[in-house]
Amino acid sequence: MEQTLEAAHERFAERGYAAVTMDEIAAAVGVTKPLLYNYFGNKERLYIACMERSGDALINTIAEAVGESANPGDALRAGVRAFFSFLDTDRAAWAVLFDETLPRSGEVSDRVAAYRGQIAELVSGSLLAQLPDRTRDAARVEVEALSTALLGAAEALARWWLRTEAISAEDAAELLISTVEPGLRERSTPTSTSKSPQGGNTP
């Protein structure tokens, strides 16, 4: 089974979900197509098995990076740097997780959304943990929104970087950090008197 996952992961990363067939994966590992279906059920479940390896690796990388952050700025810097470092060192995992040829609905789409949700929750949880207890509940919705926006920006910048490689992965990370961090620092200042859209103190 491990050999099958390796072969499938390599092909999905190189050519995308839509272009790869169960026939070629079976041929690559020297098994029959019915046996491949017996192991995984269908192409979607085989892809999900590959995705779990990549998704767990990315989440663990980010979690380890932000786990000991001392403040929201540190959490942002650590998370973004870990994200781009992962992209740079394991492009195959990135390609499987963020494949643009994936179905827009169904089990694969649901699993992709779940991984993205986990990453956003990891970032928002890390940011919230650094806020004073008195402001944490009021800031929760806004922090979740900002974390989702940050993930979207990181994905878009990562796609541009993969397409152009006009700058290094490290410089791409620092570009995003330098753009976002000043606003985050301002909104997380305890003396801020700004109000959130819900009327509470901003993070």
pLDDT for the residue 23: 93
User: pLDDT digit string (tens) for 157-195?
Assistant: 999 999 999 999 999 999 999 998 887 767 666 554 444
pLDDT at 199 over 50: no
Cα gap 57→87, rounded to integer Å: 11
pLDDT tens across 91-122, in order? 998 899 888 888 888 898 898 888 888 888 88
pLDDT for residue 197? 44
Taking the C-alpha atoms of residue 96 and residue 49, their distance in angstroms, rounded to an integer, is 11
pLDDT tens per residue, range 8-58 = 999 999 999 999 999 999 999 999 999 999 999 999 999 999 999 888 999
Res 187: pLDDT: 65
What's the per-residue H, E or C state across 86-139?
HHHHCHHHHHHHCCCCCCCCCHHHHHHHHHHHHHHHHHHHHHHHCCCHHHHHHH
Helices (H) and strands (E) counted in the chain, each on its own, are 9, 0
pLDDT of residue 131: 67
Taking the model in full, what pTM does it have? Answer: 0.78
Fold of 48-187: Tetracycline Repressor; domain 2 (1.10.357)
Contact by Cβ (8 Å): 127, 75: yes
- Where are the domains positioned within the chain? 48-187
For residues 182 and 87, the model is more confident at 87
Other CB atoms within 10 A of residue 48 CB: 18
Please report which confidence band the pLDDT of residue 132 belongs to, taking 50, 70 and 90 as the band edges.
low
Question: What does the alpha-carbon distance between residue 121 and residue 127 come to, in Å, rounded to a whole number?
Answer: 10
pLDDT of residue 188: 60
